[in-house]
Structure 1
Amino acid sequence: MDNGGRSTLVGALGALRAELGTVDLSYEVPGVAAARKQVAAVSRQVDDYLLPRLERLDAPLLVVVGGSTGAGKSTLVNSLVRQQVSRSGVLRPTTRAPVLVHSPADAHWFVDQRVLPGLSRVTGEEEELSPDKPITTVRLVADDALPSGLALLDAPDVDSVVDSNRALAAQLLAAADLWLFVTTAARYADAVPWGLLQEASARSAALAVVLNRVPAGALNEIRGDLAGMLAANGLGASPIFSVVDSVVDAGLLPRRTVKPLLTWLTGLAADEAARGVVIRRTVTGALNTLTDRVGDIADAADGQNAAATELRGLARDRYLQARGTLDTALSDGSVLRGEVLTRWQEALGTGELWRGFEAGVSRVRDRVVELVRGKRAPVDKLGEALQSSTQALLLSELTAAAGDTATQWRARPAGATLLQEHPSLARPSDGTDERIARLVRDWQGAVIAMVTAQGEGKKAQARAVSLGVNGLGFVLMLGVFSQTAGLTGGEVAIAGGTAVLSQRLLEAILGDEAVRTLAAQARADLLERVDGLLEHERRRWVEAAPVADAGSRLRRALELLEESR
């Protein structure tokens, strides 16, 4: 690949990495735990290996030495460079921070954050680290024993008793140009390292195996068995280096036991073509695995969207139900119960007015004017009762909608998690009481303004009720609230009478068509304000369950990456 093609590939890979950073897998749905690990693993491999390696193909070959607990990784590294650069011993875990040994001439490749950007660099003597804290550093050791172009990274145990060590070991192996797998004659068939070996096979990673501590008499048998296992797992081309069981002197194996491995490694470092073959194989294998791995992540992102969409739908449906309930309740007489009916009778004398209808509408109108002028306080109390009753109705339905939606969300893992994060969703939002009060006050003011504006064209009637314009506004509200008169028992006659009386009275003063127009406008205005209130409350649930198009964006970024290869 020429520099231009490689630059395009790096750009596409960087774009894919950016999209991975936007994936939100916060909803608890089936399979999400595995998807989160996949996102972390793919992101780390792109950051730790693919991007830095593609940007600089001429960087030294990074050989990560990994294997099981007690396999002798640190002793092997020390023996290759002929000095104690990485702690070894019988206590486990022996290796704390990973140790990266390189030629002094290659120091500039590793002192910055180009490779393994998530680990800070330290030099000097190895420090004792607490085993219960995650490792955040890599220790750099410059040693003339290694030729330029080759670096060894001693990694934690792949089966360490410390969870963070195991995770770091897997991360480092994914960042290797070449994995030097160290095992022993007694443990070469262990399950944990073979899981990683199979993963290395799946991504065609370059691999070499060191069979350590092999009894001389059993070398051929054990080596043959290991070779068969490697072949069965698609790793038959991986070279095997055997280290017979030997006396360790000052922490180092005899030179002769590690010489074949050292010769092979230094040969790779010296042969640019051979080194390039190893690097290209590992890079190509890692890129190939992105198709399935990123595809799985995109599917998981789609699952998140499906969960969020379901939760949003539950909230939408419940608040639509609330709209229907309020639509009915604001016209069936529900608002007129209790104090409103009492204040209506006090202000307008319902019984007398009913009898007055027999004598003519004009007499009723005159009687209303007389009552309004003489009972301004009861009229005001009627308005207050209407406001209080309307507010109570709205608050009750908002409370029920929030509670019911919360119940439905709790029945789903994703919703239950979100409610733990946002417990206030289960009740109306802060300030709802004041918003409802303001809504009703503003609506009442708008209704009175409608009546006032309509009366300007009917000066005689307007003068007749000039002291009672608020009263007429409240009468119009009564008509809006009692259109279907859906009350029960003794309230039926009162509410029904309210509807008829308010309509006849307003018709007498303002005219039939004007009353129908005013009532329709008043009702539409009220419902529009209620819609705004419901939307404000529903919006909280929508914001708590955001939907992102991460899945399709990931797939598109993956397509562009594949096109650039």
Structure 2
Amino acid sequence: MPTFSFRPANGDGPARRPFGASGDALPRTAVVSDTLSDLTDLALPLDIPGAEEARARRDRVLTELEVRLVPRLEEADAPAIVVLGGSSGAGKSTLINSLVGSEISRAGVLRPTTREAVLAVHPDDAASLADNPIRSLARIHPIDTVPRGVAVLDAPDLDSVDARNRRLSARLVETADLWIFVTTPVRYGDELPWSALTVAHERGVTIGVVLNRAGDSARTAVHRDLTRRLQSLGAADAPIFVVPDAGPHSGPLPPEQVAELSSWLRLIASTRAGSTLRRHATRTTWAALREDLLVIADAADRQVSRLEELTALVDAAAAEPVARLRRALAAHSLTDGSPTTRWLALASTGGPLSDVAARPGRIRPGRAARRRERREAALAVLAEVTGPVREAIRSAVREADAEIGRRWAAGGGPASLADQRAHRARGPEAVADRAVGDWRARVESSVEGALSSPEGRAAAEALGADGVAALVGAGGAGLAGPAAAVRGMLRGDAARLLSDATNALVDVAERAVHDISRPYLDALADLGVEPGTGLRLRAGELKEFT
């Protein structure tokens, strides 16, 4: 004979009324839905102090919103959820089987026994759970020995050896309107279930305790200690039900061993206390939810602050190599050595550029062979300059890359982003080659616009347009001889062209360095970190309901 017959005498079950009909002020579903959306979109990807706890809090609140609050607001007829939770081997599955009088949840000595959550519900209440998210967490088992208005859930072990079961059990705690801690004289002091019990109590969930498999010798002492612990928790009114030790057995327990618990649950059903449990759990949730949102908002702000710190760190690491390159250009140190020697060899008496160096404002075009010789010499000078320029950019890029990596690691930057950057960034050589090519193209474009003047046309006739551009580039890079020749040939336009060439070189060098830092910055931007402003707004909207 089933012992869990929660039906009132007339068999009709408790009368229904709209949720919140008692006059409680409840937020509109839209407010809760917006809060759910904000939390779903919230990213807390950076592993900074407190981030793991904030993610766990966010996930717990999401479960509470999805599985308990939103369904409560949208479905007035949903039954109160009674969760049987506790440590491994406490006998939860045997207990639910005994209460409903049928083996609906697997019980045994193999751990974990409960590999899925089972929700026992009256067939007439099953329809109200049709769209309830709890269906994704538990197997719904309609059975008419469960009264209308109450559904009993056998949750996996909180300390299950299976990590998936542990996560599922923790989520199911958030679905509870009534949380029954099932334990034994051996396991009643376990820290993990007491922690879950504390959280449930703080969030307004009604709690009870079942001391299972209690032998005569331990019953009194353990009951006394449980009472003391519940008083310390602020839950002195939580009932404690004792289920005697039945010894080795299989199948449901004898009805008389769960009679006290069965009678209490039957009372809940017959007095419409299930609806009261739902309202109480929901009403007392708002203050805790608001506090949770503010704590998570602070965590989101810390994520933003850390992202800004990492961004500044990357920018600062890239700035020094560029500053050093600027100083080298200003001191003309890039063109010391072989570029100067090359220029002197080509511009000395008898050299192809001797007239360009000696009388740049009065050079004659000469024969085609002479013009070609000058042009090739000018390009050779630029090639000699390009070598140290390219190496200076490569050095700046390598230095920036190494410095960013050092500061990133020292500053606690995520290793995964550094690895991602390594796959996305081009090497220093490729970056520098592209930078030099861009610089020369910009110099040629700048010079092209100056060749329409009389001086520009004369210079182009003597050296060719690219030959003039080569000397402007060499001069802009800091080689004094070509710079003097450009000023003599182009006069009024010379200062601007040389300055443009210098600035273009600095610009492409900065871009090259930032090409190395950009993947770090892009990876940070891709994290989608946002401040907690929206969550604070939601917390403010909930304030009137606390």
TM-score, normalising length from structure 2? 0.84
Following the alignment from structure 2 to structure 1, what is the Cα–Cα distance between the partners of residues 170 and 484?
84
Q: Which residue identity lines up with residue 201 of structure 2 in the other structure?
A: S
- Cα deviation code 1:399-436 (max 9, x no counterpart): 22112111211223324342133324776479525532
1:411 paired with 2:418, answer no
Q: In the alignment, is residue 539 of structure 1 matched against residue 518 of structure 2?
A: yes
> CA offsets, 1:431-477, max 9 Å, x none?
52553243123123124314413xx2448x72794444433333333
Alignment partner of 1:73 out of 85, 89, 92: 92
Which string of whole-angstrom CA distances, capped at 9 and with x for unpartnered residues, describes residues 91-144 of structure 1? 33222211111112222233x45132543xxxxxxxxxxxxxxxxxx3322212
Whether 1:561 and 2:525 are equivalent positions in the alignment is no
1:269 alignment partner AA = A
Matched residue, 2:470: 474
User: Which residue matches 2:384?
Assistant: 385
Query: Does the C-alpha gap of structure 1 residues 247 and 534 become closer, same or farther in structure 2, counting only changes over 3 Å?
Result: closer
Aligned partners of 1:252 and 1:352: how far apart in 2? 109
Superposed, which structure 2 residues align to 1:23-42 within 5 Å? Answer: 23-42=42-61
Q: Which residue of 2 aligns with 1:330?
A: 329
1:16 shift after superposition: 1.8
Separation in 1 of the partners of 2:197 and 2:155? 15
Equivalent-residue separation in structure 2 for 1:374 and 1:353 (angstroms): 6
**1:117 to 1:332, Cα distance in 2 relative to 1, 3 A:** farther
Once the two structures are superposed, what CA deviation does each residue of 1:207-228 show, in whole Å capped at 9, x if it has no partner?
1222223345765554344222
Name the residue aligned to 1:550.
Answer: 531
- 1:211-360 mapped onto 2 (5 Å cutoff): 211-215=211-215, 222-246=222-246, 251-272=251-272, 274-337=273-336, 339-349=338-348
* Percent identity of paired positions between Structure 1 and Structure 2: 31
Distance in 1 between the 2:75 and 2:407 partners? 54
Task: Quote the Cα distance in structure 2 between the aligned partners of 1:8 and 1:95.
Answer: 36
Structure 1 residues 341 and 76, CA gap change in structure 2 (3 angstroms)? same
Alpha-carbon distance, 1:535 to partner: 4.1
| 3-state DSSP of counterpart to 1:545 | helix
Alignment of 1:120-131 (within 5 A): none
Counterpart for residue 147 of structure 2: 147
| Corresponding residue SS for 1:300 | helix
Q: What CA distance in whole angstroms lies between the structure 2 residues aligned with 1:72 and 1:439?
A: 74
Match of 2:493 among 505, 511, 514: 514
Which deviates the most, 324-333 or 69-78?
Answer: 324-333
CA distance in 2, matches of 1:422, 1:308: 16
* Equivalent position of 2:120 in the other structure: 101
Gap runs ≥5 in structure 2: 1-19
Offset at residue 88 of structure 1 (A): 1.9
- Distance across 1 between alignment mates of 2:383 and 2:484: 23
Q: Which residue of 2 aligns with 1:524?
A: 503
CA contact (8 A) 2:286 2:542 kept: no
Distance in 2 separating the partners of 1:467 and 1:421: 48
* TM-superposition CA deviations, 1:343-364 (whole Å, max 9, x none): 423443279899999xx96588
Q: Partner amino acid for 1:164?
A: R
- 2:485 aligns with one of 505, 511, 514: 505
Aligned with 1:212: secondary structure?
strand
Superposition pairs for residues 13-52 of structure 1, below 5 Å? 13-52=32-71
CA distance in 1, matches of 2:346, 2:450: 19
Q: Is the 8 A contact 1:16 1:561 kept in 2?
A: no
Query: How does 1:170-249 map onto structure 2 within 5 Å?
Result: 170-215=170-215, 222-246=222-246
Structure 2 CA distance, aligned partners of 1:88 and 1:23?
A: 39
Give the RMSD, CA atoms, in angstroms.
3.4
| Mapped contact 1:344–1:350 kept (Cα < 8 A) | no
Q: How far, CA to CA, are the matches of 2:167 and 2:30 in structure 1?
A: 28
Deviating more after overlay: 555-564 vs 89-98: 555-564
Alpha-carbon displacement from aligned partner over 1:56-114 (angstroms, at most 9, x marks no partner): 2321111111122232222221111112222222333222211111112222233x451
Question: Distance between the aligned counterparts of 2:21 and 2:383, measured in 1?
Answer: 81
Please say if residues 305 and 548 of structure 1, whose CA atoms lie closer than 8 Å, have aligned partners that are also in contact: yes
Once the two structures are overlaid, the 10-residue window that deviates more, 385-394 or 245-254, is 245-254
Matched residues in 2 for 1:437 and 1:37: separation?
50
Question: In structure 1, what is the Cα distance between the partners aligned to 2:428 and 2:289?
Answer: 44
Task: Tell me the amino acid that sits aligned with residue 431 of structure 2.
Answer: T
Distance 1:83 1:362, change over 3 A: closer
The corresponding residue for 1:115 is 133
Alpha carbons of 1:142 and 1:472: their partners in 2 closer, same or farther (altered >3 Å)?
A: closer
Distance between the aligned counterparts of 1:564 and 1:431, measured in 2? 61
Contact 1:19 1:550 in 2 (8 A): no
Q: 1:226 to 1:469 in 2, by over 3 A?
A: closer
What is the identity, as a one-letter code, of the residue corresponding to 1:22? D
Letter in 2 for 1:555: R
CA shift in 2, pair 1:334/1:426, >3 Å: farther
TM-score (norm 1): 0.82
Q: Distance in 1 between matches of 2:307 and 2:177?
A: 40
Unaligned runs of 5+ in 1: 120-137, 483-494
Provide the C-alpha distance between the structure 1 equivalents of 2:76 and 2:238, rounded to a whole number of angstroms.
Answer: 22
TM-superposed CA distance for 1:51, in Å, is: 1.6
SS at match of 2:243: strand
**Secondary structure, in 3 states, of the residue corresponding to 1:99?**
strand
- Displacement of 1:545 in angstroms is 1.8
